């Protein structure tokens, strides 16, 4: 965490089970709320495609967070697997429509590009 920038950086160190994924997301959610995080960089390059049930759970778990927190931008670093890219874009679009939020999401193939976008004014 970079408190002066209100930036949280998270990294998945390996592919995880459904239970581990959900627990990790809950920890990140609590950190975002507790520390009033505005910018979140998540390195998801080691995750496989998330199961549909976990995608729907993520939408329910994170959707209200987008509206009630200080979060403004999310940068996700991932592999070039198009399915990994598409599912999160769809979930975020659904969250934006359901909760009327303006959190920005961008997905990148490098940490440098993600950092540059997050810090862009």
Confidence class of residue 7 from pLDDT cuts 50, 70 and 90? very high
Report the chain's mean pLDDT, rounded to a whole number. Answer: 90
In the prediction, which pLDDT does 54 show?
Answer: 94
Confidence class of residue 99 from pLDDT cuts 50, 70 and 90? confident
Mean pLDDT of 63-80: 89
Torsion over CA: 49, 14, 93, 65 (sign)? positive
Return the number of other C-beta atoms located less than 10 Å from residue 8's C-beta. Answer: 20
């Amino acid at each position: 965490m970079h408190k002066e920038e209100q930036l949280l950086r998270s990294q998945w160190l390996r592919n995880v089970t459904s239970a581990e994924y959900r627990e990790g997301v809950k920890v990140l959610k609590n950190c975002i709320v507790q520390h009033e995080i505005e910018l979140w960089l998540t390195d998801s390059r080691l995750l496989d495609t998330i199961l549909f049930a976990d995608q729907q759970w993520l939408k329910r778990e994170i959707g209200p967070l987008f509206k009630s927190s200080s979060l403004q931008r999310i940068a996700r670093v991932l592999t070039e697997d198009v399915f990994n890219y598409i599912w999160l874009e769809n979930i975020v679009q659904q969250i934006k429509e359901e909760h009327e939020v303006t959190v920005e999401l961008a997905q990148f193939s490098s940490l440098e590009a993600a950092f540059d976008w997050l810090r862009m004014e």
